[in-house]
Amino acid sequence: MEKIGGVNLDYTFYPGEDLYSDGEIEDKILDIAKNFSPVEFQQKIEESGEWPVLYHLSPQRENIVDWIPIKENAKVLEIGAGCGAITGSLAKKAGSVTCVDLSRKRSQINAYRHENYDNVTITVGNFKDIEPALGEFDYIFLIGVFEYSESYMNSETPFEDMLKIVMKHMTPDGRVIIAIENRLGMKYFAGCKEDHLGTYFSGIENYPDGGAAKTFSRRALEKIFKTCGVVNYSFYYPYPDYKFMTTLYSDVYLPGKGELYNNMRNFDRDRMLLFDETNAFDSVVEDGYFSVFSNSYLAVIGGILDVKFAKFSNDRAPEYRIRTEIVRTPSGEIEVRKFPLSEEANEHIKNMQVAYELLKERYEGSGLEISPCTLTEGKIPYVSFPYIQGRTLSELFDECIEKGDMDRFGELFDEYIEKIGYNESYPASDFDVAFSNVVINKGKWTLIDYEWTFGKEIPVRELAFRAIYCYLLEDEKRNKLNLDFVLSKLGVSETEASEFRKQEMDFQKFVTGQRKSMAEIRELIGNRIITPKGLTMGNDDSEFVNRVQVYKDTGSGYSEENSEILPDAYKSDSEIEFDMDVTEDVVNLRIDPAFACCMVKVRELTLNGLPIPAANKHIVVTNGVTIKGVDDKNLPTFVFNNDDPNINIRISNLKPERSNLLHVEFKVQRISTEFGNDIVG
């Protein structure tokens, strides 16, 4: 036995050595868990830029279970607890948590990061050896574990045998929770590698070469359940996937068109981008096949849970982290609830009740209803709202754009401006009157979400510009909309539009508390997104590796959709030179000079003819090492020991004009990974 803080570690079944390990990175994670508090993990993730650190320590891993209504006296079993990604979420709710894991080092990581809990016991060893000594539990969790059943069970039907053994330990009203990737997930068709094997299409092809893990389609999982005598079960659909879930759908509440746009999630390895996943998801959503192509499943064996939908907004500063749920109440009504995800966010939740009273008074007689808000006090306060049926204004706008009916678009937009601008001088405004937050049903307009209400007057054209700006950023299909048409309706000049965009960036920093978004962390880790266009640029290695790709960030981070390949940027095998127009809405610009380890000497880098201080880390940031230049221009050389080198220019810090010209001249020398590691390390 070992005790770390309040956590007990039981080594009765430990074989004496860890039979699996990620190597040295686990030592690094153990050091972080021992010497830093969980509130510091985000900083360590950003500093490391490494996939295993993100995967094991990100608080967003808890999202997959945090919505489950576990009672205070519940007994919980977590099989394959690993480094404790979800253990903390279970421990803060349940009466007791029993963890089982084969690795001593991972169990120690789990214990150190949760040492302040006194209701956690970790038993180290093979589940098959430990299982006979286990009792009954109200909840049994297999999060990313069921697919490894062949490793636990030495039998011809390992998955069925594993489930039967697990179910023996359920209380009469107990539940088994299984989170697993869908082998037919949309991301795999679109070009992501299979999560466990790291190969293209192996899951889709039903694992022709075998492997340590095996995932299933929904129908295959149901077949296993029925073989094991399971009668009561339900499916949920974590999006983008169960590892870093932000939204949870169910068969009762499925996604709508346009909702599934956060698909660039290859934190762990390179991927292909064979088609637009958002468009493909829209297609299967419209045809009723989302459950077939969901990237992940969360299956609940046992009684049906009241929660039908959950959305996590915890990629934020602690004081603004919340969870939104749609639940069925005991009386059968559908209700929307919002919960704080940190103690610091309690006040933010309570302020929604205040916001309701203010907006209700402001908009009385306007024709814009405010969805009623009820505050329930308690250890964890929450607010509830009625579930409003109807279509969102964003859906109606999308329909207008698809049909090319700009007259109808204009009519709806005019009505929107009229309603949200009512009583404009009143000292309360909802800064986030986004089109998706307005529901229309039989001519009745209702504002269903007013989380970001401030006690001050905000001009209506500022609110409307933000709404249309965010609307356009969410889906590139909306770029068909002529922004000048909207600006003229609002009376917003180009200068004012630029100021409003800057204000939006400041607001996002206010909400996130300066922390890096998941998209930024993905860029930091540096895995590539490879397009068919890139692969067909040439048939030899140099034409593929020696190519320049430029990404433009207009306030929502880098994306493949907002990038371009410059086929003529290489003037020779080692010389890059190009000019590029940069509009005033570009905040950051990233240049990928090659797809290989390399050294890049900056020969010239200017914006509007003025030198960009390439050695200034407040202006130019890379994922390599900077060597100071010795020439009279003081232009540096960057050394990259990875095959996705990138040079990020913070355009917003250079006082850009309405229209800008970027001039780039680089000397590039490819080097071996070994050479790069020696220089960088």
Which of 586, 546, 554 has its CA nearest to residue 669? 546
Question: Is residue 456 predicted with pLDDT exceeding 80?
Answer: yes
Q: Kind of pairing, strands 637-640 and 625-627?
A: antiparallel
**Are 311 and 57 spatial neighbours (Cβ–Cβ below 8 Å)?**
no
Which of 525, 85, 647 has its CA nearest to residue 271? 525
Radius of gyration of the chain (CA): 27
Q: What are phi and psi of 122, to 5 degrees?
A: -115, 120
Peptide bond connecting 613 to the previous residue in cis, omega within 30 degrees of 0: no
Question: Is residue 523 predicted with pLDDT exceeding 80?
Answer: no
Q: Work out the average pLDDT over 573-591.
A: 90
What is the pLDDT at residue 630? 76
Weakest mean pLDDT among 80-84, 383-387, 421-425, 566-570? 566-570
Dihedral of alpha carbons 628, 631, 634, 635, sign: negative
The 3 state secondary structure assigned to 596-639 is CCEEEEEEEEEECCEECCCCCCCCEEECCEEECCCCCCCCCEEE
Tell me, rounded to whole angstroms, the distance of Cα 224 from its chain centroid: 30
Question: Is residue 213 predicted with pLDDT exceeding 70?
Answer: yes
Longest dimension (CA), the chain: 79
**Are 298 and 177 spatial neighbours (Cβ–Cβ below 8 Å)?**
yes
CA distance between the termini of the chain: 39
Q: What are phi and psi of 45, to 5 degrees?
A: -60, -45
Q: Work out the average pLDDT over 208-212.
A: 87
**Domains 2-184+203-241+294-303 and 391-512 equal at CATH topology level:** no
Q: Kind of pairing, strands 374-376 and 307-313?
A: unpaired
Confidence of residue 543 (pLDDT cuts 50, 70, 90): very low
Question: Is residue 537 predicted with pLDDT exceeding 60?
Answer: no
Q: Would you give the DSSP letter of residue 594?
A: -
**Are 123 and 107 spatial neighbours (Cβ–Cβ below 8 Å)?**
no
**Mean pLDDT for the chain?**
92
Q: Work out the average pLDDT over 159-180.
A: 98
Q: Which residues pair with 27 in a beta bridge?
A: none
Question: Is residue 457 predicted with pLDDT exceeding 90?
Answer: yes
**Model confidence pLDDT, tens digit, residues 583-621:** 888 999 999 998 888 999 999 999 988 899 999 988 999
| Other beta carbons less than 10 A from residue 581's beta carbon | 9
- Angle between the 41-48 and 24-35 helix axes, to the nearest 10 degrees? 150
What is the pLDDT at residue 533? 58
Question: Is residue 534 predicted with pLDDT exceeding 70?
Answer: no
3-class secondary-structure state, position 189? helix
What is the pLDDT at residue 540? 43
Q: Kind of pairing, strands 170-181 and 137-143?
A: parallel
Number of helices (H), then strands (E), in the chain: 23, 34
What is the pLDDT at residue 545? 63
376: tokens are 């329930």
> Considering the domain 2-184+203-241+294-303 in this protein, what is its CATH number?
3.40.50.150
Q: Would you give the DSSP letter of residue 202?
A: T
For domain 318-386, the question of CATH label 3.30.200 is answered with yes
Question: Is residue 294 predicted with pLDDT exceeding 90?
Answer: yes
Amino acid at 240: P
Distance CA 45, CA 53 (A): 6
3-class secondary-structure state, position 375? strand
What is the pLDDT at residue 535? 58
User: Strands, E, within 393-490: which ranges?
Assistant: 429-430, 438-441, 444-447, 453-454
Q: Kind of pairing, strands 575-583 and 659-670?
A: antiparallel
Weakest mean pLDDT among 433-447, 536-550, 633-647? 536-550
**Which residues have a Cβ under 8 Å from the Cβ of 395 and sit 6 or more positions away?**
256, 257, 258
**Are 69 and 90 spatial neighbours (Cβ–Cβ below 8 Å)?**
no
Which class is 391-512 in CATH? mainly alpha
Question: Is residue 445 predicted with pLDDT exceeding 80?
Answer: yes
**Model confidence pLDDT, tens digit, residues 230-262:** 999 999 999 999 999 999 999 999 999 889 989
Which of 662, 660, 596 has its CA nearest to residue 624? 596
Distance CA 341, CA 322 (A): 5
Calculate what percentage of the chain has a pLDDT beyond 70. 98
Q: Work out the average pLDDT over 324-347.
A: 95
What is the pLDDT at residue 497? 85
Question: Is residue 119 predicted with pLDDT exceeding 70?
Answer: yes
What is the pLDDT at residue 536? 53
Spell out the alpha helix ranges (H) of 78-156: 87-91, 104-113, 127-130, 149-152
Distance CA 264, CA 255 (A): 18
Residue with tokens 């039908």, as numbered in its chain: 308
Tell me, rounded to whole angstroms, the distance of Cα 352 from its chain centroid: 25
Question: Is residue 542 predicted with pLDDT exceeding 50?
Answer: no
Which of 560, 650, 548 has its CA nearest to residue 600? 548
Question: Is residue 105 predicted with pLDDT exceeding 50?
Answer: yes
Distance CA 486, CA 99 (A): 56
What is the pLDDT at residue 569? 85
633: tokens are 């221009």
**Are 593 and 570 spatial neighbours (Cβ–Cβ below 8 Å)?**
no
234: tokens are 């339900």
Weakest mean pLDDT among 149-153, 171-175, 484-488, 544-548? 544-548
Question: Is residue 365 predicted with pLDDT exceeding 60?
Answer: yes
Distance CA 398, CA 61 (A): 33
Confidence of residue 69 (pLDDT cuts 50, 70, 90): very high
What is the pLDDT at residue 124? 98
Question: Is residue 515 predicted with pLDDT exceeding 90?
Answer: no
What is the pLDDT at residue 493? 87
Q: Which residues pair with 143 in a beta bridge?
A: 179
What is the pLDDT at residue 539? 40
Which of 333, 436, 323 has its CA nearest to residue 383? 323
Q: Pseudo-torsion of CA 21, 159, 268, 586, nearest 10°? A: -150
Distance CA 340, CA 646 (A): 37
Domain ranges of the chain: 2-184+203-241+294-303, 318-386, 391-512, 531-680
Between the alpha carbon of residue 543 and those of residues 566, 567, 595, 668, the distances in Å are: 12, 9, 10, 14
